[in-house]
Structure 1
Amino acid sequence: MATQEIKVPDLGNVDNIDVIEVLVHPGDKVELEQTLAVLETDKATMDLPASATGVVEQVHIKVGDKVSEGTLVVTLNSSETSSTQETEEKTETKVETPETQPTEPPAATAAEPVKTATQPTSDRPPLTPMSNAAHKIHATPSVRLFARELGVDIHQIPEGSGRKGRILKDDVKKFVKSLIQSDSAKTGTGISPIPAVDFSQFGEIEEKPLSKIKKLTGQNMTRVWLNLPMVTYHDEVDITELEAFRKATNADKNNDIRLTALVFIMKALVAAMKQFPAFNSSLSADGESLIFKHYFHIGIAVDTPNGLVVPVIRDVDKKGIFQLSEELAEKSALARKGRLMPQDMQGGCMTISSLGGIGGTAFTPIVNAPEVAILGVTRAKMQPVWDGEQFIPRLMLPLDLSYDHRVIDGAEGARFMEAVKSYLGDIRRLIL
């Protein structure tokens, strides 16, 4: 029995090359220049071709190994090649020119050798000449690398659109697209969808389509809820003096612009963000770094007849409370009329969601990604507060801070809330 060893050839003095794919198994028939494995350096991928023909007796490498010049790859038994040469040539002719066999479908010719071939040690079919044409993956190293970067097992792609079934980049893209569409049909979360119910069996119903805003908001909130590990921190702040100052200012007949508590909250939020820059950042797409912003744009959630929208007030740190009040009133009016432009709702650093005009004591606002935090506000109410000697009535405002726990930890979240409270509790701090 004649055996031959195929080793890694000279690769230009490069050592410790990663094996990323092994394409042969014991029992496979190997042809000259057939790719045995795919190797990858930090700069390129390369096919490792066969330097001889024969049947694979043993494969000496596996995916994840590191090889260098002279590393043994496979051992071949070449004694059978001469006795089967004539049969193989006939078989190869059939495979290469299927159009000359009008009476026999290609599937039937490919099935015949599989029955008689030696069983390989894996689930993949043996690479006999017949099954080679039907099952072997043909793709260039660049396409294989492209597939790996997308997390695609190239062997799962049924057929390529290139010459002789070669897999192209477009085939990989189509395969990924088909997977995404399939996942979308299953809600895209890996969670079984809520079963449909025929509510008409219980009584009279009416069905109305969701507005486009509510559809988009729902999709974004679902995406955030599933991808961000969120934490919500609840607290309350004494705004008795702030409210007294606001009412006194609005009582001045020389002021045409009415101040709202929201503009003071915006100012306090920006002052705290300057102290804690992580709250004015966004996580990079790969999750490896933080992008810190040197501008302060605050989004304000506005309830409209069509759903929730978030206009952005830009450069809050550079504007006074009267200018902010005027701009907030204008943006809110445009939002309720549905006249906001896309650029009016982009570029926010952090969002405020206020239910103060409605009520409530606490809630969990969902972070408006790619922002990393959001401040929720509910209705202030008078409460008895112990001052060390007696209970006195104070106006207490509930605050709810939700944040991305990948970026902000609990201690930092609590310190940030304390900073916001210190500015709202004594607005004179805002001018320091």
Structure 2
Amino acid sequence: MPPLGDVDAVDVIEVLVKPGDRIEQESPLITLESDKASMDVPASEAGQIKEVLVKVGDQVKEGDPIVRVEAVEAEAETEPEAAPSEPPAETTAPEQAEAPPQPESQVSEAPQPKAEKGEIQEIRVPPLGDVDVVDVIEVLVKPGDRVEQESPLITLESDKASMDVPSPEAGQVEEVMVKVGDQVKEGDLIVRLAAAGAAVEPEAAAEEAPPAQPEPAVPAQAEAAPEAAAPAPAPTPQAPAAKKAPEGVPPYASPSVRKFARKLGVDLQQVEGSGPKGRILKEDVEEFVKSRLQKAPAEEGIAGIPAVPEIDFSKFGPVESMPLSRLKRLTGPHLQRAWLNAPQVTQHHEVDITELEEFRQSLKGEAERRKVKLTPLAFMLKALPKVLKEFPNFNASLAPDGQSLLLKQYCHIGVAVATPDGLVVPVVRDVDRKGVWALAEELAEVSARARAGKLKPDDLQGGCFSVSSLGGIGGSFFTPIVNVPEVAILGLSRARMQPVWDGSQFAPRLMLPISLSYDHRVIDGAEGAQFVVRYGELLGDLRQLVL
């Protein structure tokens, strides 16, 4: 680790190499982040990575070893007899004391007082150590942009590292004093900022472009439909209509990722981040490029699906453009892939849950004592593992070659939750090992975190079967979209009292409409009918769950 100035320790937010990798001198090894800036630590030698000594989430301080590199000069590059007699020297990279700019370098060395609303602040280049000048490689804001405290303003790069210069205050950019390609030195003026202060009026805040909100990263799962959310397997580009991120919200990415994106010609404004707090990772940039390359033939009609013609609707009357939420932009491409790749059938059925509801109502006192909201969904989840065990093809995924089934020996159920930005599908794990009370508690807890935008990536991964419940909204039946690579999804609608013939007379019964969608390549109609009938039997007589 190079010197860190007056910072004791910094966080490792990305590890960019692994054992066996070949690297060049100055190749970035890890990315560090303090509370004010991020930087890459470059390799002091070309060679091969022998050991990585840190991981994401570690805290490191000056002098800590981070990797061991087998220097290329120590390798035999001609005939065997020319190889050195001593083993290759290992070096800890980087050991040089110059890795400017330092991560702790800020707008000024002394703490900045809180600016009053409207006060113009001059943002200057922070201390650069023993480097005289650095290059401006990115300007991330323009006049009129709204920025939050710690939002990056520009990116600087020396011959050893790159760093973002953050804003010390929230406010509005009045003037940008530098451009890409400029060389700047410590103390140079880069941005003039009108501070927002502590007294921002609610009306004014409502008119501003909203800052990027922490969203659950969705590397593996997203919604399957407005009726049945399905998790996306990886970050995907925005829909064509959404060209870039909201105004005033610079992309959140480390210097190495920015450099990688520039090399590929990728506009980071169009890339969705799957890292913590929406950080754009190198994998997100790669997935963006891959998706764009795969999407181009389909748009041209090569895949057999002609593109939808573009129409100027303003010819017919007034229109207003409203961007889709981030969540819907993420899940749209996944929904389309799921619908096009899996031939889907939906089986409808009505289930008598009269006794189940009477039993649930009898537990109201116990639920109040436990301070648990005991919803019908907890019972419906409890019945699923038994029926999935009896019909294992529903708890499976089709192998990539389409020639075999991967039967899962676990029972993790994804449950669609409505949020202000759309539906997400957090996963309730090991449903087969939990009782109704535990399931009710977990459903309430995960739903609250989903609506607050506090789901973690692990919360959205590993599901083997999904449930989408519209019982609290209404409706009879619907057609949920299978969350591929799962092979089935269960839709639950609102139960209602109906007259049902019992053989001698009509009796009022509480009937629950259910809709089971499944991949017809894996499940045929007979299996689908058997599944919903058996599921109805279990909900109709919960005593069978103890057998």
Pairwise TM-score range, normalised by the shorter structure: 0.5 to 0.7
Aligned residue for 1:214, secondary structure, equals helix
- The equivalent residue for 2:498 is 383
3-state DSSP of counterpart to 2:370:
coil
Q: Where does residue 340 of structure 1 map in the other structure?
A: 455
Q: How does 1:287-326 map to 2 (within 5 A)?
A: 287-326=402-441
What's the secondary structure of 1:254's corresponding residue? helix
Q: Counterparts of 1:328 and 1:194 in 2: how far apart (Å)?
A: 40
Q: What amino acid is aligned across from residue 336 of structure 2 in structure 1?
A: T
Aligned to 1:240: 354
Q: Are the counterparts in 2 of residues 217 and 308 from structure 1 also a CA contact under 8 Å? A: no
The one-letter code sitting in structure 1 at the alignment partner of 2:458 is: Q
CA distance in 2 between counterparts of 1:214 and 1:347 reads 21
Which residue in the other structure is 2:314 paired with?
Answer: 200
Distance (whole Å) between structure 2 residues aligned to residue 230 and residue 181 of structure 1: 22
Matched residue type, 1:307: G
Partner of 1:210: 324
- Alignment gaps of 5+ in structure 2: 1-289
Distance 1:188 1:235, change over 3 A: farther
Structure 1 match to 2:81: none
Shift of 1:358: 0.7
Change (3 A) 1:265 1:187: farther
After superposition, give the CA deviation of every residue in 1:13-49 in whole Å (9 maximum; x if it has no partner): xxxxxxxxxxxxxxxxxxxxxxxxxxxxxxxxxxxxx
- CA distance in structure 1 between the partners assigned to 2:327 and 2:293 by the alignment: 27
1:225-256 deviation line (CA, Å, top 9, x unaligned): 11101110000000001001111112334332
Task: Give the superposition deviation at 1:342.
Answer: 1.3
Which residue is equivalent to 2:334? 220
Q: CA deviation at 1:417?
A: 1.0
Give the 3 Å change call, closer, same or farther, for CA 186–298 of structure 1 in structure 2.
same
Equivalent residue letter for 1:387 = D
- Is contact 1:300–1:313 with CA below 8 Å preserved after alignment? yes
Report Cα offsets for 1:390-411 as digits up to 9, x if no partner.
1010000000000011111111
Cα–Cα, structure 1 residues 188 and 318, in superposed 2: closer, same or farther, change >3 Å? farther
Aligned to 1:286: 401
Partner of 2:378: 263
Q: Which runs of 5+ in 1 are unaligned?
A: 1-175
Residue 182 of structure 1: how far off its partner (Å):
3.4
**1:69-114, CA deviations, whole angstroms, 9 ceiling, x for partnerless residues?**
xxxxxxxxxxxxxxxxxxxxxxxxxxxxxxxxxxxxxxxxxxxxxx
2:343 aligns with one of 223, 229, 233: 229
> Per-residue deviation at 1:188?
7.2
Change in 2 beyond 3 A, CA 1:190/1:421? same
Could you say what secondary structure the match of 1:222 adopts?
helix
Give the structure with the higher percent helix. 1
C-alpha distance 181-215 of structure 1, shift in aligned 2 (>3 A)? closer
TM-score normalised per structure 2: 0.46
Pairing partner for 2:300 from 162, 165, 186: 186
| Shift in Å, 1:381 | 0.3
Task: Provide the identity percentage.
Answer: 59
2:452 alignment partner AA: K
Tell me if the contact between 1:282 and 1:292 (Cα under 8 Å) persists in the aligned partners: yes
Q: CA RMSD in A?
A: 1.8
Q: When the two structures are superposed, what TM-score results if normalisation uses the length of structure 1?
A: 0.57
Q: CA separation of 1:242/1:335 partners in 2, compared to 1, >3 Å: closer, same or farther? A: same
Distance 2:377 2:301 in 1: 37
Report the alpha carbon displacement of residue 419 of structure 1 after superposing the two structures with TM. 1.2
Kept after mapping to 1: 8 A contact 2:298/2:306: no
For residues 449 and 359 of structure 2, the distance between their equivalents in structure 1, rounded to whole angstroms, comes to: 28
**Displacement after TM superposition at 1:205 (Å):** 1.9
- Residue 249 in structure 1 maps to residue 360 in structure 2: no
Partners of 1:178 and 1:324 in 2: CA distance: 41
* Aligned residue in 2 for 1:3: none
> Could you tell me which residue of structure 2 aligns to residue 23 of structure 1?
none
Counterpart residue number, 1:45: none
Q: Specify the alignment match of 2:231 in structure 1.
A: none
Q: Secondary structure at the match of 1:326?
A: helix
Cα distance in 2 for partners of 1:391, 1:185 equals 56
| Residue correspondences, number | 257
Query: Which residue does the alignment assign to 2:248?
Result: none
Q: Do the aligned residues in 2 keep the contact of 1:350 with 1:372 (CA within 8 Å)?
A: yes
Structure of higher CA gyration radius? 1
Deviation at 1:187, TM superposition (A): 7.1
Q: How does 1:12-411 map to 2 (within 5 A)?
A: 180=294, 182-186=296-300, 189-252=303-366, 253-411=368-526
**Structure 1 residues 309 and 181: alpha-carbon distance in aligned structure 2, compared to 1, 3 A threshold:** closer
Superposed CA deviations along residues 301-321 of structure 1, whole A, max 9, x for unmatched, are: 111111111000000010111
What is the Cα deviation at residue 341 of structure 1? 1.1
Cα distance in 1 for residues equivalent to 2:303 and 2:331: 17
| Aligned mates of 2:377, 2:295 — CA distance in 1 | 43
- 1:278·1:408 contact (CA, 8 Å) conserved in 2? yes
Question: What is the letter of the counterpart of residue 403 of structure 2?
Answer: E
Give 1:178 deviation, angstroms. 9.5
